């Protein structure tokens, strides 16, 4: 079995890495006394592979500050925090490692969100997300076999925040042309981000089948986006109008979405509003088997229509970054023509 390091120049926020089938096997032998942060299902999958006996196993069942701080206060000391699971388990691990000033080893069991490469932990205060602390995995362990124990559609959803480069970079260029960019514009960063997206599109068939190469392409994509966004201190190349549609929907409907699915829908809608290679990016999403249809996320046509009609007012009220939503009117005719082309 081949375990390899993936080294990408620049600040990836990954201190070291091990990629490969079975990469997590026996990790307990190398990390001293360790505390695990996880959820029930991922820990069932991972525990026999990890080996050893943790000092404690913390379950990430609530991300509210009060609950998390109680868990951290009660946690035993150790040399290492071993974070195993999806976004919540990894965020709890980052927070614990930051608070205890100890080593973090991150083992994502699904690629649906990029928490395993970002520095801060997403906790919640009264259900609103706040990002706190800073932690970098050493190593980040990408075990392809372990990842494939998660539903394929959730690993594929990981491409959502890479596909968003398509619409987000366009938005940033629009903002720059309008003299409304909130940050110093960088054509180099835009080009670097688009190169990530091109590699995702070129590996679409591999990603769709969750092969080793496909899974690696997603993780490398996140690491490369970090090398652009961490020095710039903003995520303008991967967050724009496509995310704003999702924020409006989430606030309106007060329900969670699978991030990559709803962002995919945002890319579909906004690439049309931008008149920005909409057919091509939609074709890529189909090749990726990304579930971006309203039918995939129990989203009604009425809700989507209401959200699109309210969007321009919403982004202005929130003072979000300047995007196509500020520049081109979202007319009832546009909304009808877009919503006609989606499945419910």
Which residues of this protein are in contact with Zn ion, per CB under 5 A? 161
Shorter beta-carbon distance to Zn ion: residue 314 or 334: 314
Q: Kindly report the number of other CB atoms within 10 A of residue 74's CB atom.
A: 9
The DSSP letter of residue 313 is H
Q: Measured between alpha carbons, how far is 263 from 223 in angstroms, rounded to an integer?
A: 19
Whole-number Cα distances in Å, 307 to 154, 161, 244, 300, 312: 25, 21, 10, 11, 10
Q: Measured between alpha carbons, how far is 197 from 85 in angstroms, rounded to an integer?
A: 26
Q: Shortest approach of Zn ion to residue 179 CB, angstroms?
A: 26
Shorter beta-carbon distance to Zn ion: residue 143 or 239: 239
Shorter beta-carbon distance to Zn ion: residue 14 or 267: 267
Q: Shortest approach of Zn ion to residue 10 CB, angstroms?
A: 20
200: Cβ contacts below 8 Å, ≥ 6 apart = 159, 162, 163, 207, 217, 218, 221, 284, 288
Contact indicator for 185, 172 with CB cutoff of 8 Å: yes
Q: Measured between alpha carbons, how far is 339 from 341 in angstroms, rounded to an integer?
A: 5
Shorter beta-carbon distance to Zn ion: residue 24 or 123: 123
Q: Shortest approach of Zn ion to residue 155 CB, angstroms?
A: 16
40: Cβ contacts below 8 Å, ≥ 6 apart = 59
Q: Measured between alpha carbons, how far is 341 from 336 in angstroms, rounded to an integer?
A: 9
Q: Shortest approach of Zn ion to residue 239 CB, angstroms?
A: 6
Q: Shortest approach of Zn ion to residue 94 CB, angstroms?
A: 17
Shorter beta-carbon distance to Zn ion: residue 161 or 189: 161
Q: Shortest approach of Zn ion to residue 260 CB, angstroms?
A: 8
Shorter beta-carbon distance to Zn ion: residue 143 or 161: 161
In the bound state, the residue with its beta carbon closest to Zn ion is 161
């Amino acid at each position: 079995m081949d375990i390899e390091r993936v080294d990408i120049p620049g600040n990836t926020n990954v201190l070291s890495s091990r990629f490969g089938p079975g990469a997590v096997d026996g990790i307990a032998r190398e990390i001293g006394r360790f505390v695990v942060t996880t959820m029930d299902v991922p820990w069932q999958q991972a525990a026999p592979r990890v080996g050893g006996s943790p000092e404690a196993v913390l379950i990430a069942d609530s991300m509210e500050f009060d609950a998390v701080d109680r868990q951290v206060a009660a946690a035993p000391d150790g040399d290492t925090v071993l974070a195993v699971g999806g976004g919540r388990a990894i965020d709890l691990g980052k927070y614990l490692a930051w608070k205890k000033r100890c080593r973090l080893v991150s083992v994502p069991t699904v690629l649906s969100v990029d928490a395993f490469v970002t520095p801060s932990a997403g906790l919640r205060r009264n259900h609103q997300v706040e990002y706190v602390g800073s932690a970098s995995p050493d190593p980040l362990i990408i075990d392809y076999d372990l990842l494939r124990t998660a539903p394929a559609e959730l690993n594929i959803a990981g491409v959502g925040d890479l596909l968003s480069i398509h619409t987000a970079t366009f938005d940033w260029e629009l903002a720059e042309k309008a003299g409304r960019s909130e940050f110093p514009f960088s054509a180099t960063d835009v080009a670097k981000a688009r190169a990530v997206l091109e590699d995702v599109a070129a590996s679409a068939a591999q990603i769709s089948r969750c092969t080793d190469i496909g899974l690696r392409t997603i993780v490398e994509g996140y690491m490369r986006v970090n090398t652009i966004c961490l020095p710039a201190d903003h995520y303008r190349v991967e967050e724009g109008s496509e995310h704003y549609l999702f924020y409006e929907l989430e606030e309106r409907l007060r329900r969670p979405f699978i991030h990559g699915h709803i962002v995919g829908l945002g890319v579909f809608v906004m690439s049309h509003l931008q008149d920005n290679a909409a057919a091509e990016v939609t074709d890529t999403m189909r090749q990726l088997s990304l579930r971006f249809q309203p039918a995939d996320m129990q989203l009604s046509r009425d809700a989507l229509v209401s959200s699109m009609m309210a969007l321009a007012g919403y982004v202005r009220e929130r003072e979000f970054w300047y995007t196509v939503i500020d520049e081109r009117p979202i007319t009832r005719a546009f909304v009808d023509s877009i919503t006609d082309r989606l499945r419910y």
